């Protein structure tokens, strides 16, 4: 088990390229199962979650090779429809494989997925939607046994919540279904658009991605394609938080500003100056942040739940009171007790967290509870007095590509031990 050791008090300076988006790469890798021929996926981050998805594809009989940030994927040799429990448990996003394997092979046998325990993320939206498309799905002994021997059929599906994962699963499955599939109350996240762009480049017929209604016209087959994964907006928000708590100025290269539209105003309200030009973002933080008043997490285009933990860490040293309302996951304040160990003044009740900013945090031995909570502890460690030892670094590695090297490049004192 690895740890991160952070010595606080260092100013950050310099430029860094924002990695490819984990939440785009994973469904795109899953969707490649539908294709024949070779796929070239550029800007694919090197993460444990991505490695888990790649290992599943290899188990299924696909050929996957990595060259730096590029993945070459060929699914012509797929010869299995089952995914073992030990592979499924590696990542929550593995559930998006269900629609892909079912559409390609007519069968799927998967265990329930793993991932961070940040609250209830029911997969009933996935299962009910695929059933509406004609799949026979049975739950036995912790496994999902799925059958669609005559293929899937297009239909109208109304989601009770704009779930990103369910929207992706339906989109993927519908590409090879017979007829038209319409998703009502679809998720609108940029990662949905990226998946649609990839699938359309493979020969799919998807319209409306990024809006509340997505329409997929089924096609006979898909071919491999070349695609570049969008930059990771949550990593960008995390690095902005790192600059904010240390009173620093840094430049993030390769961002898409519209993806950060709900995040940028929050940093501005905290007193940060932000300049955007030609896909680059420069953030200049004050010596001490101002409170951010109230932040409510919402589906896109609202404030992203994945950015809540990094922003909460930043608010711990802001001047004044910041209130967070977590509307997506009910168990997403697991990092708060660890921040309190470092001297933060945070009270939580239900979906609300009230943060009273303090003058200084103090280094301590803490444990990352999940991916974004781990990032929050790194942010806190950067501005804390003394050394912070963060256990559970494997959680952070699920979504951040060599975070210790990225921050060291900017001048932070951080290393993996």
- Is 123 annotated to bind a ligand? Reply is yes
Q: Quick one: average pLDDT of 184-196?
A: 98
Give tens-digit pLDDT for 352-368. 999 999 999 999 999 99
Residues with catalytic function: 116
Share of the chain above pLDDT 70, in %: 97
Name the CATH code of domain 22-228 (choices 2.60.15.10, 3.65.10.10, 3.90.1300.10, 3.40.50.11540): 3.65.10.10
- Is 156 annotated to bind a ligand? Reply is no
Q: Quick one: average pLDDT of 164-171?
A: 95
Q: Would you give the distance in Å from CA 351 to the centre of its chain? A: 21
Same fold, 4-19+231-416 and 22-228: yes
CATH class of 4-19+231-416: alpha beta
Contacts with 89 (C-beta within 8 Å, 6 or more apart), sequence order: 111, 113, 114
Cβ 374 vs Cβ 368: under 8 Å: yes
- The strand order across the sheet containing 82-83 reads 82-83, 107-111, 143-147, 136-140
Q: CB neighbours (10 Å) of residue 217?
A: 15
Give 40's strand partners: 72, 226
Tell me the pLDDT band of 116, cut-offs 50, 70 and 90: very low
Distance CA 313, CA 334 (A): 12
pLDDT at 117: 44
Q: Where are the domains of the chain?
A: 4-19+231-416, 22-228
List C-alpha distances in Å: 4 to 133, 342, 368, 378, 391.
46, 15, 10, 8, 7
- Is 372 annotated to bind a ligand? Reply is no
pLDDT at 78: 96
Least confidently predicted of 98-112, 195-209, 258-272, 342-356: 98-112
Distance CA 362, CA 417 (A): 20
Q: Does the pLDDT of residue 47 top 90, yes or no?
A: yes
List C-alpha distances in Å: 299 to 45, 47, 161, 189.
24, 24, 9, 8
Contacts with 410 (C-beta within 8 Å, 6 or more apart), sequence order: 12, 13, 14, 16, 242, 248, 250
- Is 124 annotated to bind a ligand? Reply is yes
CA geometry: angle 185, 138, 78, nearest 5 deg: 85
State the DSSP string of 361-381: -B--EEE--SHHHHHHHHHHH
- Is 23 annotated to bind a ligand? Reply is yes
- Is 328 annotated to bind a ligand? Reply is yes
Q: CB neighbours (10 Å) of residue 308?
A: 27
């Amino acid at each position: 088990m690895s740890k991160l050791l952070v010595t606080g008090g260092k100013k950050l300076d310099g430029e860094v390229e924002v990695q490819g988006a984990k939440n785009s790469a994973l469904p795109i890798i899953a969707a490649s199962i539908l294709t024949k021929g070779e796929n070239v996926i550029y800007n694919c981050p090197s993460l444990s979650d991505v490695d888990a998805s790649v290992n599943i594809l290899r188990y299924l009989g696909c050929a996957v090779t990595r060259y730096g940030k590029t993945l070459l994927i060929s699914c012509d040799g797929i010869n299995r429809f089952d995914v073992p429990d030990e592979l499924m448990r590696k990542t929550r996003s593995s559930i998006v494989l269900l629609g892909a394997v079912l559409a390609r092979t007519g069968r799927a046998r998967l265990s329930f997925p793993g991932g961070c325990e940040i609250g209830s993320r029911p997969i009933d939206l996935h299962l009910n939607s695929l059933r509406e498309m004609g799949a026979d799905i049975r739950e036995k002994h912790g496994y999902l046994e799925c059958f669609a021997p005559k293929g899937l059929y297009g239909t109208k599906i109304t989601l009770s919540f704009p779930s990103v994962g369910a929207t992706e699963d339906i989109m993927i499955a519908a590409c090879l279904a017979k007829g038209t599939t319409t998703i009502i109350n679809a998720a609108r996240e940029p990662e949905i658009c990226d998946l649609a762009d990839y699938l359309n480049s493979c020969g799919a017929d998807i319209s409306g991605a990024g809006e509340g209604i997505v329409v997929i016209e089924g096609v006979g087959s898909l071919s491999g394609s070349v695609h570049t994964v969008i930059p990771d907006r949550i990593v960008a928000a995390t690095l902005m938080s790192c600059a904010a708590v240390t009173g620093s100025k840094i430049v993030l290269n390769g961002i898409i500003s519209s993806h950060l539209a709900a995040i940028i105003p929050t940093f501005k309200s905290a007193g940060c100056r932000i300049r955007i030009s030609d896909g680059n973002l420069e953030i200049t933080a004050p010596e001490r942040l101002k409170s951010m008043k109230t932040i409510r997490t919402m589906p896109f285009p609202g404030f992203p739940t994945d950015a809540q933990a990094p922003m909460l860490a930043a608010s711990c040293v802001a001047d004044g009171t910041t209130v967070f309302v977590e509307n997506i996951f009910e168990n997403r304040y697991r990092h708060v007790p660890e921040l309190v160990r470092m001297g933060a003044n945070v009270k939580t009740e239900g979906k609300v967290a009230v943060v009273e900013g303090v003058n200084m945090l103090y280094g301590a031995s803490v444990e990352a509870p999940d991916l974004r909570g781990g990032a929050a502890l790194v942010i806190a460690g950067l501005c804390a007095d003394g050394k912070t030892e963060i256990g559970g670094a494997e959680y952070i590695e699920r979504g951040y590509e060599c975070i210790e090297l990225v921050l060291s490049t900017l001048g932070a004192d951080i290393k993996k031990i």
